[in-house]
């Protein structure tokens, strides 16, 4: 492979690195009870919510950051982070796209996501989170007709306190882990979805997150509840501007699927990965968990992880209902100095539960990537089945790819299979393509896309297109 | 008094006439063990194995090496070999048979080797198994004063297997032993070494063994570890292997006995062309707990490893497999394969398996697989439709499941013993002994 070309491409700059200059209403850095009270008050939350946050905060104080992941980063100073940042004048939010700050729209333009067009063309309702406050929500009426609630979590706390109170923290408890506890204490925004019994959500729901102001951590909290026989497909995508200091992102996503419900959660994550020395990228410590509470319920996670300096993320499924299904499809691409420790947990509790894990890792440059997964079959999970496949592709001889799959099996009627391979792009594959007049870069891109196909085909159509494009852009920088 | 202190107190029973380097290492081992203490389930490497049964035990040191003759005949492998026997960690000259060793082959008790020429032992001993490896290697280092030394001069191919038999006695005060096995294979030498752990039924002792194997260029070592300890015995072992260029290490780690068993097997492939094959089997039932941790370090380019571990678990047995393949940066053109398959025969048996890959080079072919399941009902049906009753069909399929590993075993006496044990230890209704005998008769005819 032409190594000079490769070098050149490796040194490409982050294409989506730019900063939108919008005044933010930011609290001074630091975290104590008063910060939490400030956030809670700013959001107009009821007393129980503040108490819930404080409970989490006191738990967090007693905890220590996890050190078991295959990651290296300097200790984070949690007092140096500003925990709230909202675009100015949250009270007079724009009611339609026309009222949206043109600069924000410009930002979306630069990202290649023309919000209004996209929303109209794809029939997607977009709850765009710009920094920490939902700026605009479209297609709300249509959803309202169907009885689907899709709003920011802050709004949900105010408008549907009973629903929120019933489900919040029941999948990811406040003290689940260090980052989840932090999030529970200080979360500022995120999405809330409730699909009532028997309703198939008429459109795919989508939120584009974007971290903007310097030094503000983003703490999203997403809660999706799918009632009996309901269905929803939720899309989450992210990009971030270029920054010098590490930004902390500690989100929590909770999914609840009741009887016969189906939740499909897709993510494309493309946050700033840092410069070529790994400086300045996003720290992405996310807790995502789905609870298949009802019989025959199904939760499907699909993720394309291309960004962030550090990714620590294990979307999981608790398969409690009989015959419930958990799925995890993941493509993780790391380049430069990126580090990713990602995977899933499938906890089989109910009878005849099934899970499928397909994880594809591509490591390039000097990056380090690990798949870490747990498949646990409880003693009562009769007839449980799991199939796991995790493959790694190494591009370059300075990167690392690792797999740490845990299997804990306590039932003889369970069938658990795990396969993993690690290899590089074979020279004969490249040669085959080149012999047919396909240049090297296209050939590599084709091979890699083929490698990821099992996962991409799980993505919703418009997302799959975006994911492929994203992958090509990322690979452009790593191979000849 | 803490558990480590209680264990170390027994050190005072030891002879005080060690050469200075031995005394220094003993102290280092004791200090390290005291500092580390026994591992707990919070330690990642011990996540699934609780060693409190060891830590809370009271183990003396054996004072003599007498062993019941009839028992000995029943336990030992019927094999033409150079035999070295330890009883509860003490050398038994009476039971050993080391006459007629060829030139260039040294097989000796550690105590003899140390008193004859301690400097010759000191260099190699402990080179691979440092006191930091685990609390148990540190504990072994503190106590070890007996074991087996095997040395092969360059080019020597040993005509018969070298058979180290470690016996454990029942009755009276429970004892602990900390044997040390050192195998140094000179360039292009070749030998088969058997470590066989057995003993009287009801023995409830604690064996903590450390084995070090050094292979010079082109050496070949077939290493059998047949662990048939009593179902009440506690057994912790670590095997450390260092391989030079073009050497080959074949490991056969066969576990049938023991109440609590932990084996660490670590190989460093340090020269191009070095190759390691790990074959493992564990067949456990009752409340047995068997933990196998394996690690292959591919430190050099063009090194190869192939690992296959099979587990059969019945009743409330608990099995653990943790296999790790590490590929160092710039160690290109590696091939590493790893497989772990487990068969659960009971609802209450548990298996925790973790096949790990840690890879820092790109031109590699690495794969691992882990499966857990039950017998294929279609296969059971196929056999039944041919007139074989269900228990027999299941037993045959279980034997076939372990067959993939057992086929690699080149010493028939061991293969037969394991197969008989597997067949015999299947529940009563699975009684297969006759069948195995018939099969053997057919083979011989």
**Any A CB within 8 A of B349 CB:** yes
What average pLDDT score do residues A14-31 get? 60
The residue among A412 and A242 whose pLDDT is bigger is A412
Best of A422, A424, A428, A430 to substitute, by most chain B Cβ atoms within 10 angstroms, is: A422
Q: Tell if the CB–CB gap between B351 and A394 is shorter than 8 Å.
A: no
Ordered by start, the domain boundaries in chain A are 3-476
Tell me, what's the pLDDT at A132? 40
For B3-13, the pLDDT digits (tens) are 899 999 888 87
| A contacts of B344 (beta carbons < 8 Å) | 409, 411-412, 414
Q: How confident is the model at residue A7 (pLDDT cuts 50, 70, 90)?
A: low
For A335-368, the pLDDT digits (tens) are 888 899 999 999 999 999 999 999 999 998 888 9
Least Cα distance to A266 among A452, A453, A458, A471 occurs for A458
For A243-300, the pLDDT digits (tens) are 445 578 889 999 999 999 999 999 888 777 777 777 778 888 999 999 999 999 999 9
Q: Alpha-carbon distance B231 to B259, whole Å?
A: 5
Q: Alpha-carbon distance A442 to B428, whole Å?
A: 64
Size of interface A-B (CB pairs under 8 A): 114
| A contacts of B346 (beta carbons < 8 Å) | 412
Would you say B338 and B368 are in contact if contact means Cβ atoms under 8 Å apart?
yes
Tell me, what's the pLDDT at A350? 95
Tell me, what's the pLDDT at A121? 31
DSSP code string of B337-348: EEEEEEEE-STT
Residue of B nearest to A426 (CA): B363
Dihedral angle at the C-alpha atoms of A268, A273, A276, A279, nearest 10 degrees? 180
Q: How confident is the model at residue B50 (pLDDT cuts 50, 70, 90)?
A: very high
Q: Tell if the CB–CB gap between A422 and B364 is shorter than 8 Å.
A: yes
Tell me, what's the pLDDT at B60? 93
* Cα A348 to Cα A12, A51, A78, B48, B369, distances in angstroms: 44, 33, 36, 19, 20
| B contacts of A412 (beta carbons < 8 Å) | 344-347, 349, 374
The residue among B334 and A110 whose pLDDT is bigger is B334
| Percent above pLDDT 70 for chain A | 76
Considering only A83-87, A398-402, B293-297, B391-395, which range has the smallest mean pLDDT? Answer: A83-87
ipTM of the complex: 0.81
Tell me, what's the pLDDT at A256? 96
What average pLDDT score do residues A206-228 get? 69
Per DSSP bridges, beta strands A133-137 and A125-130 are: antiparallel
Rounded to two decimals, the pTM is 0.84
Considering only A174-178, B335-339, B428-432, which range has the smallest mean pLDDT? Answer: B428-432
Question: At a CB cut-off of 8 Å and minimum separation 6, what does B58 contact?
Answer: B6, B174
| A contacts of B48 (beta carbons < 8 Å) | 408
- By Cβ distance, the residue of A398, A401, A404 closest to B359 is A401
| B contacts of A422 (beta carbons < 8 Å) | 357, 359, 364-367
DSSP code string of B36-92: H-S--TTSGGGTT---HHHHT---EE-------HHHHHHHS----SEEEEEETTEEE
| Count of C-beta atoms within a 10 Å radius of residue A94 | 13
Q: What's the full length of chain B, in residues? A: 445
**Any A CB within 8 A of B356 CB:** yes
Tell me, what's the pLDDT at B34? 94
Question: At a CB cut-off of 8 Å and minimum separation 6, what does A118 contact?
Answer: A124, A126
Q: Residues of A near B (CB-CB distance < 8 A)? A: 68, 379, 392, 394-424
The residue among B192 and B445 whose pLDDT is bigger is B192
Residue B431 has pLDDT above 70, yes or no: no
Residue B256 has pLDDT above 80, yes or no: yes
Tell me, what's the pLDDT at A109? 53
Would you say B436 and B403 are in contact if contact means Cβ atoms under 8 Å apart?
no
* Cα A189 to Cα A83, A217, A253, A273, B324, distances in angstroms: 11, 12, 12, 23, 41
Least Cα distance to A367 among A393, A349, A348 occurs for A393
Q: How confident is the model at residue A241 (pLDDT cuts 50, 70, 90)?
A: very low
- By Cβ distance, the residue of A395, A400, A408 closest to B359 is A400
For B142-182, the pLDDT digits (tens) are 998 899 999 999 999 999 999 999 999 998 899 999 999 99
Tell me, what's the pLDDT at A193? 92
Q: Tell if the CB–CB gap between A415 and B362 is shorter than 8 Å.
A: no
Residue A92 has pLDDT above 50, yes or no: no
Best of A382, A415, A420, A479 to substitute, by most chain B Cβ atoms within 10 angstroms, is: A420
Would you say A119 and A139 are in contact if contact means Cβ atoms under 8 Å apart?
yes
Tell me, what's the pLDDT at A24? 55
For A100-158, the pLDDT digits (tens) are 555 445 545 544 554 444 343 333 344 444 444 443 445 667 788 889 988 888 889 99
Distance from CA of A383 to the nearest CA of B (A): 10
Tell me, what's the pLDDT at A464? 76
What average pLDDT score do residues A169-190 get? 91
Q: Tell if the CB–CB gap between B363 and A400 is shorter than 8 Å.
A: no
Per DSSP bridges, beta strands B304-313 and B334-344 are: parallel
**B171 three-state secondary structure:** coil
At A175, list the tokens. 């003290």
Sign of CA dihedral A410, B341, A348, A315: positive
Beta bridge partners of B281: B254, B310
What average pLDDT score do residues A367-387 get? 93
Beta bridge partners of B22: none
| B contacts of A421 (beta carbons < 8 Å) | 366-367
Q: Alpha-carbon distance B179 to B146, whole Å?
A: 6
Mean pLDDT (chain A) is: 80
Best of B43, B317, B359 to substitute, by most chain A Cβ atoms within 10 angstroms, is: B359
Q: How confident is the model at residue A325 (pLDDT cuts 50, 70, 90)?
A: very high
The residue among B268 and A480 whose pLDDT is bigger is B268
**Any A CB within 8 A of B44 CB:** yes
Q: Tell if the CB–CB gap between A414 and B344 is shorter than 8 Å.
A: yes
Q: Alpha-carbon distance A307 to A305, whole Å?
A: 6
Residue of B nearest to A382 (CA): B347
| B contacts of A413 (beta carbons < 8 Å) | 347, 374
Least Cα distance to B305 among B271, B343, B335, B280 occurs for B335
User: If residue A142 lies in a helix (H) or strand (E), which one and from where to where?
Assistant: helix A140-146
**Any A CB within 8 A of B369 CB:** yes
The residue among A335 and A2 whose pLDDT is bigger is A335
Residue B16 has pLDDT above 80, yes or no: no
Would you say A342 and A373 are in contact if contact means Cβ atoms under 8 Å apart?
no
Tell me, what's the pLDDT at A117? 42
**Any A CB within 8 A of B295 CB:** no
- By Cβ distance, the residue of A379, A412, A418 closest to B370 is A418
Q: Tell if the CB–CB gap between A422 and B357 is shorter than 8 Å.
A: yes
| B contacts of A407 (beta carbons < 8 Å) | 351-354, 370, 372
Q: How confident is the model at residue A474 (pLDDT cuts 50, 70, 90)?
A: low
- By Cβ distance, the residue of A395, A407, A422 closest to B372 is A407
Distance from CA of B320 to the nearest CA of A (A): 9
Mean pLDDT (chain B) is: 91
**Any A CB within 8 A of B49 CB:** no
The residue among A91 and A476 whose pLDDT is bigger is A476
* Cα A246 to Cα A115, A306, A342, A477, distances in angstroms: 28, 17, 19, 22
């Amino acid at each position: 492979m032409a190594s000079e070309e490769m070098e050149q491409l490796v040194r490409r700059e982050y294409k989506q690195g730019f900063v939108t200059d919008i005044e933010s209403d930011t609290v001074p850095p630091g975290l104590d009870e008063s910060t939490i009270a400030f956030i809670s008050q700013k959001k107009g939350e009821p007393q129980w919510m503040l108490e819930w946050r404080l409970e989490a905060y006191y738990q967090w104080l007693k905890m220590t950051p996890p050190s078991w992941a295959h990651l290296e980063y300097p200790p984070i100073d949690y007092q140096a982070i500003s925990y709230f940042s909202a675009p100015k004048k949250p009270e007079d939010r724009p009611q339609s796209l026309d009222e949206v700050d043109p600069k924000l729209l410009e930002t979306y333009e630069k990202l290649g996501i023309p919000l209004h067009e996209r929303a109209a063309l794809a029939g997607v309702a977009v709850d765009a989170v710009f920094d920490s406050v939902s700026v605009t929500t479209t297609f709300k009426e249509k959803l309202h007709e169907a009885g689907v609630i899709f709003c920011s979590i802050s709004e949900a706390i105010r408008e549907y306190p009973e629903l929120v109170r019933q489900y919040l923290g029941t999948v990811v408890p406040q003290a689940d882990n260090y980052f989840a506890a932090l999030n529970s204490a200080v979360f500022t925004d995120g999405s809330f979805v409730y699909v009532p019994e028997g309703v198939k959500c008429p459109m795919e729901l989508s939120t584009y997150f974007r971290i903007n102001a310097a030094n503000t951590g983003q703490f999203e909290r997403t809660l999706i509840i799918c009632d009996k026989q309901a269905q929803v497909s939720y899309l989450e995508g992210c990009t971030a501007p270029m920054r010098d200091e590490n930004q902390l992102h500690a989100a929590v996503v909770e999914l609840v699927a009741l009887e016969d419900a189906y939740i499909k959660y897709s993510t494309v994550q493309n946050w700033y990965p840092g410069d070529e020395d790994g400086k300045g990228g996003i720290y992405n410590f996310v807790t995502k968990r789905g609870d298949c509470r009802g019989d025959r319920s199904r939760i499907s996670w699909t993720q394309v992880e291309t960004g962030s300096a550090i990714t620590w993320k294990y979307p999981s499924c608790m398969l409690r209902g009989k015959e419930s299904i958990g799925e995890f499809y993941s493509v993780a691409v790391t380049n430069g100095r990126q580090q990713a420790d990602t995977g899933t947990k499938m906890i089989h509790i109910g009878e005849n539960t099934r899970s499928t894990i397909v994880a594809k890792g591509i490591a390039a440059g000097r990056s380090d990537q690990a798949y870490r997964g747990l498949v646990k079959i409880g003693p009562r999970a009769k007839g449980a089945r799991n199939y796991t496949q995790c493959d790694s592709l190494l591009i370059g001889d300075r990167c690392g790819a690792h797999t740490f799959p845990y299997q804990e099996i306590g039932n003889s009627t369970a069938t658990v299979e795990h396969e993993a391979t690690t290899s590089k792009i074979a020279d004969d594959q490249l040669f085959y393509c080149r012999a047919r007049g396909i240049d090297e870069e296209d050939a590599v891109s084709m091979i890699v896309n083929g490698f990821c196909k099992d996962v991409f085909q799980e993505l919703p159509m418009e997302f799959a297109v975006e994911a492929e494009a994203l992958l090509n852009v990322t690979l452009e920088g790593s191979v000849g | 008094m803490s558990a480590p202190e209680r264990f170390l107190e027994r050190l005072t029973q030891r002879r005080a006439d060690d050469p200075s380097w031995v005394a220094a290492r003993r102290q280092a081992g004791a200090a390290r063990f005291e500092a580390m203490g026994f591992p707990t389930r919070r330690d990642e490497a011990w996540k699934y194995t609780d060693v409190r049964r060891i830590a809370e035990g009271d183990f003396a040191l054996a004072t003599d090496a007498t062993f019941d003759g009839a028992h000995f005949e029943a336990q030992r492998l019927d094999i033409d070999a150079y035999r070295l026997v330890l009883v509860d960690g003490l050398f038994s000259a009476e039971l050993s048979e080391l006459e007629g060793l060829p030139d260039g082959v040294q097989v000796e008790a550690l105590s003899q080797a140390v008193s004859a020429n301690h400097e010759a032992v000191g260099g190699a001993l402990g080179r691979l198994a440092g006191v930091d490896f685990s609390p148990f290697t540190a504990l072994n280092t503190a106590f070890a004063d007996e074991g087996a030394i095997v040395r092969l001069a360059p080019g020597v191919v040993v005509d018969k297997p070298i058979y180290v038999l470690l016996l454990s006695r029942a009755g009276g005060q429970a004892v602990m032993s900390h044997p040390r096995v050192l195998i140094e294979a000179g360039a292009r030498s070749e030998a088969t070494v058997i470590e066989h752990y057995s003993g009287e039924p009801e023995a409830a002792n604690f064996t903590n063994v450390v084995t070090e194997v050094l292979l010079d260029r082109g050496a070949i070592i077939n290493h059998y570890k047949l662990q048939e300890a009593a179902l009440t015995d506690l057994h912790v072992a670590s095997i450390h292997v260092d391989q030079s260029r073009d050497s080959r290490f074949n490991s056969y780690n066969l576990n049938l006995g023991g109440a609590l068993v932990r084996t660490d097997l670590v190989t460093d492939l340090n020269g191009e062309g070095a190759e390691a094959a790990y074959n493992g089997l564990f067949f456990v039932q009752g409340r047995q707990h068997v933990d196998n941790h394996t690690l292959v370090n591919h430190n050099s380019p063009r090194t190869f490893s192939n690992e296959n571990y099979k587990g059969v678990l019945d009743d409330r047995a608990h099995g653990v497999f943790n296999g790790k393949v590490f590929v160092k940066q710039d160690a290109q053109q590696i091939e590493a394969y790893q497989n772990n398959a487990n068969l659960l025969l009971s609802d209450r048996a548990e298996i925790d398996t973790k096949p790990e890959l840690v890879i820092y080079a790109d031109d590699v072919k690495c794969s691992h697989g882990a499966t857990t399941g039950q017998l294929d009902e279609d296969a059971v049906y196929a056999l039944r439709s041919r007139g074989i009753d269900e228990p027999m069909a299941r037993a045959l399929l279980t034997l076939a499941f372990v067959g993939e590993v057992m086929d690699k075993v080149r010493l028939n006496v061991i293969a037969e013993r394991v197969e008989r044990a597997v067949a015999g230890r299947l529940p009563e209704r699975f009684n297969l002994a006759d069948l195995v005998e018939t099969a053997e008769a057919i083979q011989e005819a």
